[in-house]
Amino acid sequence: MSAIEETVFEPSVISCGLRCFNCVRQCNSFIYDTSSRSCTTGSLLSSMEAFNSTPGEQFFIKGIYCDNSVVNFTLRSYADTSICMFIPSESTNYDSARQACVALGATLYTAKVWAKLNILLDVLKDDPAPFWIGLDDIKVEGEFRWVDDNSVLKLWSLFAPGQPNNYLNQDCICYATEIRGLNDRSCTDVIRYICEKIPLIV
């Protein structure tokens, strides 16, 4: 995001959003720092730029937000792709992770395109742990399907080199920073997971 005016003090995230909405120059996004109450209005993200919300520094794209009625999903963006993401602290098996996301009105994360894999690369860059995402070949071996719409995997290059290898009948997919890509695992493995919602548009 490129700033379009000087960073200013605003008493709340709402007033920062109103500043963006009423900006003379075209404001498409803004960052609000809750500790310093600083507001920075800006342009859209460039094609190679990633940005995430954090508890202290919140990032917004005008007209797009996350439904936080159940838990605190945060807006994550890369270029023109935005999603709402929640990473629970607990670990569980694949099926329980899938059900936990559904209970939140979400799905396991679906990294169908490079932009969404780049969001994972950025968000998890300092976390070597594996995380379940919503992809498996449980029904038909070698036919990987996404949990959100049951579509077949098309972009095999999302997998890390040498993966998937179906070692000991591994049917469920995780993302791991240490291999910078997708990897198959046993669905009964207990690891962390990522839930995703489609952002709301106003």
Q: Can you give the pLDDT at residue 92?
A: 98
Structural domain contains residue 70: yes
For residue 179 the two structure tokens come to 């291999």
Q: Can you give the pLDDT at residue 109?
A: 97
Structural domain contains residue 3: no
Domain count, the chain: 2
- What is the average pLDDT value for the chain, to the nearest integer? 83
pLDDT tens digits along 54-65: 545 566 665 677
What is the pLDDT averaged over residues 28-38?
82
Looking at the predicted structure, is the pLDDT value of residue 52 above 60? no
Which band of pLDDT confidence, cut at 50, 70 and 90, is reported for residue 23? Answer: low
What is the pLDDT averaged over residues 5-20?
81
Structural domain contains residue 24: yes
Domain boundary among 39, 57, 85: 85
Which band of pLDDT confidence, cut at 50, 70 and 90, is reported for residue 45? Answer: very low
pLDDT tens digits along 103-141: 999 999 998 888 898 898 888 888 889 999 999 999 999
Domain housing 78: 8-85
Is 189 in contact with 93 (CB distance < 8 Å)? yes
**Range name among 1-5, 179-183, 191-195 with the lowest pLDDT average:** 1-5
Looking at the predicted structure, is the pLDDT value of residue 48 above 50? no
- Looking at the structure, do residues 133 and 184 belong to the same domain, yes or no? yes
Q: Can you give the pLDDT at residue 39?
A: 87
| HEC secondary structure over 22-36 | CCCCCCCEEEEECCC
> Which alpha helices (H) appear in 52-149, and where do they start and end?
94-103, 114-123
Structural domain contains residue 165: yes
Q: Can you give the pLDDT at residue 3?
A: 63
Structural domain contains residue 100: yes
Q: Can you give the pLDDT at residue 156?
A: 85
Q: What is the CATH number of the domain that holds 138?
A: 3.10.100.10
Burial of 162 (0-12, 13-18, 19+ CB in 10 A): exposed
- Looking at the structure, do residues 180 and 148 belong to the same domain, yes or no? yes
Paired with 31 in beta bridges are 40, 59
- Looking at the structure, do residues 114 and 184 belong to the same domain, yes or no? yes
- Looking at the structure, do residues 104 and 178 belong to the same domain, yes or no? yes
Domain boundary among 20, 51, 85: 85
Domain boundary among 54, 85, 116: 85
- Looking at the structure, do residues 51 and 109 belong to the same domain, yes or no? no
Is 175 in contact with 181 (CB distance < 8 Å)? yes
